[in-house]
Amino acid sequence: MLLHDFTQGDIGAFERIFRQFQGQVYGWIVRIVRNPAAAEDLTLEVFWRIYRARARFDPQRSFTAWARRIATNAAMDYLKSAPREVLLDESAPALKSPSTKSGIDLALVQQALHALPAKFRVVAILALVEETPYAEIAEATGLPMNTVKSRVFRAVRMLRKKLTRLGIQP
């Protein structure tokens, strides 16, 4: 009933949906963009897109899945347009201790990751860093599972190549 009212443009229904799902949407986006302030802005952008597309939403389907897909697209747009340096999470331990015990400069590893094209960076961050299951990534990106696996594989290959060029052998 709530979702049905929302699709009819009921602003009260939209407010309840927003309050119920804003945390989930933010939590998903911040894992991808790794910047809390940007994630808040993107959460608003996602709900703006959701509000605009309300008439196309089928209330019988999962709102969470729909919202997550829109959130992933918005995060991907952000990664494509944002300057590389703002994507670094300032709270990451890497910036406090810039090298591993074996002497690998972690800033170079970050550089290699951020040099990946957005569509590969998203799956690399989700699969390799956040350990998100492939099925969940597939649902969020709207890609078949095999495409997700293939993108992770290609991201790994590109990362190894870039790291090797930077003198790092993982």
Partner 1 sequence: MNTPDHDLRALLKNAVAPIADTELKRDLWPHMLNKLNQRPMRVSRLDWVLVALSLTGCLLFPRIILALLFHL
DSSP three-state, residue 99: strand
> By CB under 8 A, what part of segment 6-65 binds partner 1?
11, 15, 18-19, 22-23, 26-27, 30-31, 34, 36, 40, 43-44, 47-48, 51
Torsion of CA 57, 131, 38, 63, to 10 degrees: 10
Specify the DSSP class assigned to residue 100.
-
Alpha carbons 126 and 72: distance in angstroms, whole number: 11
Q: How far apart are CA 100 and CA 87, in angstroms?
A: 21
Q: What angle (nearest 5°) sits at the alpha carbon of residue 89, between those of residues 17 and 104?
A: 145
Residues in contact with partner 1, counted by CB under 8 A, come to a total of: 42
Nearer to partner 1, 50 or 60 (CB): 50
User: Binding residue for partner 1 (CB under 8 A) from 129, 133, 145, 150?
Assistant: 129
Determine, following the binding rule CB under 8 A, whether residue 85 of this chain makes contact with partner 1: no
CB of 93 to partner 1, least distance (A): 5
Q: What is the CB neighbour count within 10 angstroms for residue 152?
A: 18
Residue 125 lies near partner 1 (rule: CB under 8 A): yes
Query: Cβ of residue 135: shortest distance to partner 1, in angstroms?
Result: 16
* Spatial distance between the Cα atoms of 153 and 139, rounded to a whole number of angstroms: 18
Residues that bind partner 1 (CB under 8 A): 11, 15, 18-19, 22-23, 26-27, 30-31, 34, 36, 40, 43-44, 47-48, 51, 89, 91-94, 100, 104, 106-107, 109-110, 113, 124-125, 128-131, 156, 159-160, 163, 168, 170
